[in-house]
Structures are given as structure tokens and as C-alpha cells.
Amino acid sequence: MTVIQNLDWLVLNFINNYFHNPFLDKLMIILTSLGDMGLIWIIIAIGLLITPKYRKVGFMTICALVLSSILGEGLLKNLIQRPRPFMADPAVQLLISKPLSFSFPSGHTASAFAAAGILVKMVKKYKGFVITLALLITVSRMYLFVHYPSDIVGGIIEGLICSKIVLYFFELRSQKSIHKEEGKGRISI
């Protein structure tokens, strides 16, 4: 565990010492606010829900977001109760309001990758945009000193697991519907 904590601090201090500047300060605040409560992903999901061709994808995205929120914010953060990095280094000047929840896993990252896991699989033509947006939101959390890199890794894993669960259940449901339809066409004698 000490190795992970040392690596966490090494990365955070590197970002803090070599990348902070007025332009990135503003950009990272904007990026992180897009991820607040999964806002950008909810907006994308709603856009998909109102488009008949992508309605199912929008619903799947919402399901993945809800599952990641229950698992991460409701369960894991409260079980693990890891303090945030700014609490360990009070000298850091936060650029955003202090988050009130625990640090592990990153909720912004979990929701980004829960949604991205669905969108990349189901709407391939926007894959590059979705992955880039998810990664930028993720980096903003470390830049703003509210998450350790290991919180980010935990959020990525959690989000991708949630998207895989949703994809699995929708595929299972789709297969059951196909089998049900095939059964209707049979004539029994």
C-alpha cells in the first residue's frame, strides 16, 4: 500500500509542480464541471433517448450511470473512506469547492467510463470524442488535487465493469426476445 501511496503523491506533485498555469486552471475547472453528477453524460444520454435510432443506447447509458453511482458513491466510497489529497496537504490552494465525499473511487471517472463503455461499444463513430472527453474529465480530477491517481484507476475499473454489466444484461434480454419470437413462429401438431 505504501508503494501505491508514494506513486500517488509522485504523480500529483509532478502535475502540481509542472503543469499548473492560468489557462489550464480554467480549462480543468470547466472539464471537471462537465463531469459533476455525470452531467455531460446525462445530457448525451437524453439526446440519445429522444432519437429513435439511439433510444436503447441512451437508456443503457442511464442504466450504467445509475449502477456506477450506486456502486461507487453509495457503497465503495463509504466502505473505504479514503480522505482526499487536499486534506493531506493543506498548503494546496483548491480551485474548486471542496468535495464533501470520500476519495476512492473517483465518481467523475466512474461515471465517465460507465457512459464511455456503453457509447464506445454502441456508437462507434464517436469513439474518439467519447474516450477523449472521459480522459480529460479524469485528468482534471488529479489536476485539481481532489483525487489520487489510484482513485482514478479505481474509477476507470468501476465504470467499465458497470458498462459491461449493462451491456451483458441488454444482450441477454435481446437474446431472450429473439428466442421468444422464434418460438411464436413454430406450429405444433
In the chain, what are the domains?
A: 2-180 (1.10.606.20)
**How does pLDDT run across 4-40, given as a tens digit for each residue?**
999 999 999 999 999 999 999 999 999 999 999 999 9
Residue 85 half-sphere exposure, CB side, CA atoms within 13 Å?
Answer: 27
pTM of this structure: 0.89
Using the predicted structure, report yes or no on whether residue 175 has a pLDDT greater than 70.
Answer: yes
Confidence at 188, pLDDT banded by 50, 70, 90: very low
- pLDDT at residue 131 above 70? yes
pLDDT score at 126: 93
Decide if pLDDT at 1 tops 80. no
DSSP assignment of 97-130 = PPP-S--SS-HHHHHHHHHHHHHHHH-GGGHHHH
C-alpha span between 168 and 166 (Å, rounded): 5
| Cβ–Cβ under 8 Å, residues 131 and 102 | no
Crossing angle (nearest 10°) for helices 127-143 and 107-122: 170
- The tens digit of pLDDT for each residue in 34-91 reads 999 999 999 999 999 999 999 999 999 999 999 999 999 999 999 999 999 999 988 8
